[in-house]
Amino acid sequence: MKRFATRSALVAAALLMAAPVLAQTAPAPGAAVGGPRVPASRAEIGLSFAPIVARTAPAIVNVYAMKAMPARNNPLLDDPFFRRFFGDRGSPDVPGLDMPAERIQRSLGSGVLVDPSGIVVTNNHVIEGADEIRISLSDKREFDADVVLRDPRTDLAVLRIEGAKGGFPSAVFGSSDDLEVGDIVLAIGNPFGVGQTVTQGIVSALARTQRGITDYGFFIQTDAAINPGNSGGALVDGAGRIVGINTAIFSRSGGSLGIGFAIPADMVRVVLQSALTGSKVVRRPWLGADLQQVTPDIADGLDVARPTGALVQNVLPDSPASKAGLRAGDLIIAVAGQEVGDPDAFGYRFATRPLGGAVELGIIRQGKPVTLRVMLETAPETVPREEITLAGRSPLTGATVVNLSPAVVEEMRTVDASKGVVITAVAEGSLAERTSFRPGDILLEVNGVPITRTADLARATATPARMWRITLQRGGRTLSAVLPG
């Protein structure tokens, strides 16, 4: 009996001790024991992204770009046999069979209204080469638009609605640096031209580099469905702020595979600021040094733990890098305390710093950490551009060229050269295009005449010749070509 009483007392004591624990771990109302929690109220069932979309969607627009292209006749009409039956469609002597002189090429993308005055940000590839641009708002209003600033290096363009009197809805920008992998995001745009569409996903990765999409290869990756037509649209965070501009997808079929890339909002802000100040080019800090990817072999040679950072190949005289004491062989590992894994990451971090101040670079020099302070200033235009477009009958006809300077080298992302002039544009269908000259080519010599200024090139190509000997620099290599006149 005594034994039984003792055992009962022990059981009772154990239950009393466990009671508080049981009370603390009891499931909440509506929760499934051992599983995910189900909605506990009608309010929770009604949770939705609709308020975010309602605030942001009016600022997302459709961008229609039209470009006139020369019409191409059916190649069969070049055959005299078929022309006997169908006539000469390019001749006014055959009524009703004239071919149109041109056809209209249309492209569709998306954009974001970023200012109530009618300023729109979109992708450069959406409007590149367009003769006419139309903006369609979510409320069905349509407007013509002008290009304020194009920046192929970031694949961004800034447009202004023509005749705008203001009062347009505009998006609120957030900071892309506040994003974390796993954050919920929305992609808003016009995929496949079906109309404004919202898709939802998460941030899959940050600081995606070496994608080969833009010069500043630093992207937000998301699994929110992005398809053709979404380009230039908004990537929106959970607070309804624009954190990126959708620009590209990884796809084997042309449709979304859950890997989309967006340009970070902090880079968009740099381009937008230059446009709003009236600049025709984006004003960015200039380092004045060439950087190289760090491979595992290079990392072993530098005696660093892993292949990360941007290795300095050479430093230009009188550049901010030179004045700060940066040297060839230095390994840049951080900008303003933010780690950089490769030259693309460095380029983004450096380019998004505000002009006029200074920034600290964390480097490894001969195995030891060093901090350098670099001034944030634009590349100087030490020589006037003196832009000309070549005419006449030379192989360079249709090429636009300017004099070289650090500012031009920075804009064109070409190899720095001490002499020559650089091609900035090649007219479509021109002799220069058919001869395969490209923007970025540095012309050094024409028919034995050294080229130091654009005026030299104009004189050298003014007189027709039976043969043309042209020496140029492309991608750091010096090439020579002999072309017929």
Q: Which residues share a beta bridge with 82? A: none
Does residue 125 have a known ligand-binding role?
A: yes
- Report how far residue 338's alpha carbon sits from residue 208's, in angstroms, rounded to the nearest whole number: 15
Does residue 229 have a known ligand-binding role?
A: yes
- Report how far residue 458's alpha carbon sits from residue 268's, in angstroms, rounded to the nearest whole number: 38
Measured in residues, the chain has a length of: 485
- Report how far residue 386's alpha carbon sits from residue 365's, in angstroms, rounded to the nearest whole number: 41
Does residue 48 have a known ligand-binding role?
A: no
Q: Of 390, 388, 392, whose CA–CA distance to 437 is shortest?
A: 390
Residues taking part in catalysis: 125, 155, 231
Q: In the chain, what is the straight-line distance between the N-terminal and C-terminal CA atoms, in Å?
A: 122
- 265-276 and 343-351 are packed helices; what angle lies between their axes, rounded to 10 degrees? 40
Q: Of 102, 103, 105, whose CA–CA distance to 67 is shortest?
A: 105
Q: With helix as H, strand as E and coil as C, how does 98-136 read?
A: CCCCEEEEEEEEEEEEEECCCEEEEEHHHHCCCCEEEEE
C-alpha distances (whole Å) from 223 to each of 24, 68, 291 are: 38, 36, 32
Does residue 231 have a known ligand-binding role?
A: yes
- Binding site: what residues are annotated? 125, 155, 229-231
- Binding-site residues for substrate: 125, 155, 229-231
